[in-house]
């Protein structure tokens, strides 16, 4: 088994200014979104849209800006609501203490959906057309975030067989027993694998809503699977049916994706 390498979370120190690896992974996520978004403009139906409905690089920049707001606001509110509602109900001002950590992907997803609704309304474009555009550009950002989790030595996995070649000891977990490096599992599954599958799927013309539906189902299934190897939050543990909070939050996500897919099949191509 392996030992966690104790990576310094600070990538560069210049006097009092510290540049953290985690911040750099966010910058990488934003840069990848911009690059992929510009390439997405070449895909149909976006490449053929003209007039007021035409897409441009400025649209990609605006979606990124609104998406970042949605991730931060939705992610923080989602964490407070899904994971510690009682605590934050008693300490409402601490909802603003984002520097203390505590973000939820599923809350961030709801925030991004809200930002896409705003963008679609302001540009008078179909919301699902916007969602289909954004969906294939998201997984690389998720992959970058999981690398940040690994560098920070957080969100480690459950106990693993000591003879598992890639099992790893995370001393910061309070145990010297081997664990699954679940951050790497999630990097590979909901990051790289989901990106490859979704990008290839979105390259061909699809019915409106199909790409967004594929993202919801794909991420939900892959995250649900990865959660079996990830240590549940210590203050929650496992919930009914032996499932973690992350798994329970994936259930409505997958159901929504299936429902969207079935709706899309009824629409004209």
Binding site as annotated, residues: 146
Enumerate long-range contacts of 57-62, CB under 8 Å, 24 or more apart: 59/123, 60/33, 60/34, 61/34, 62/119
DSSP H helix total and E strand total for the chain: 10, 5
What gap in Å lies between CA 186 and CA 110, rounded to an integer?
A: 20
With both helix axes pointing from N to C terminus, report the angle between 127-134 and 57-82 in degrees, rounded to the nearest 10: 90
Q: Using an 8 Å Cβ cutoff, are 145 and 29 in contact?
A: yes
Q: DSSP letter at 43?
A: S
Q: Under 8 Å CB-to-CB from 145, ≥6 apart: which residues? A: 25, 26, 29
Neighbours of 175 (CB within 10 A): 13
Neighbours of 247 (CB within 10 A): 21
Which of 251, 214, 230 lies closest to 106, judged by CA? 251
Q: Using an 8 Å Cβ cutoff, are 78 and 84 in contact?
A: no
Q: How many CA atoms lie within 13 A of 123 on its CB side?
A: 22
């Amino acid at each position: 088994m392996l030992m966690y390498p104790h990576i310094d979370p600070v990538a560069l120190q210049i006097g009092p200014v510290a540049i953290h690896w985690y911040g750099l992974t966010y910058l990488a996520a934003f840069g990848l979104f911009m690059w992929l978004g510009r390439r997405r403009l070449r895909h149909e139906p976006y490449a053929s849209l003209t007039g007021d409905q035409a897409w441009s690089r400025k649209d990609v920049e605006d979606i990124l800006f609104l998406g970042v707001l949605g991730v931060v606001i939705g992610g923080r509110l989602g964490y407070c609501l899904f994971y510690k509602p009682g605590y934050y109900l008693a300490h409402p001002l601490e909802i603003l203490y984002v520097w203390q950590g505590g973000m939820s992907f599923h809350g961030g997803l709801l925030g991004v959906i809200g930002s896409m609704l705003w963008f679609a309304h302001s540009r008078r474009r179909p919301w699902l057309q916007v969602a289909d555009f954004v969906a294939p550009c998201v997984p690389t950002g998720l992959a970058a975030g999981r690398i940040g989790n690994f560098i920070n030595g957080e969100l480690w996995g459950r106990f693993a067989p000591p003879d598992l070649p890639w099992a790893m000891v995370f001393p910061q977990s309070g145990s010297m027993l081997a664990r699954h490096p679940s951050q790497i599992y999630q990097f590979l599954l909901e990051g790289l694998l989901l990106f490859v599958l979704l990008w290839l799927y979105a390259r061909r013309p699809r019915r409106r809503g199909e790409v967004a539906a594929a993202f919801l189902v794909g991420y939900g299934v892959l995250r649900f699977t990865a959660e079996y190897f990830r240590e549940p939050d210590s203050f929650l543990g496992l919930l009914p049916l032996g499932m973690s909070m992350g798994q329970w939050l994936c259930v409505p996500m997958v159901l929504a994706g299936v429902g969207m897919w079935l709706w899309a099949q009824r629409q004209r191509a």
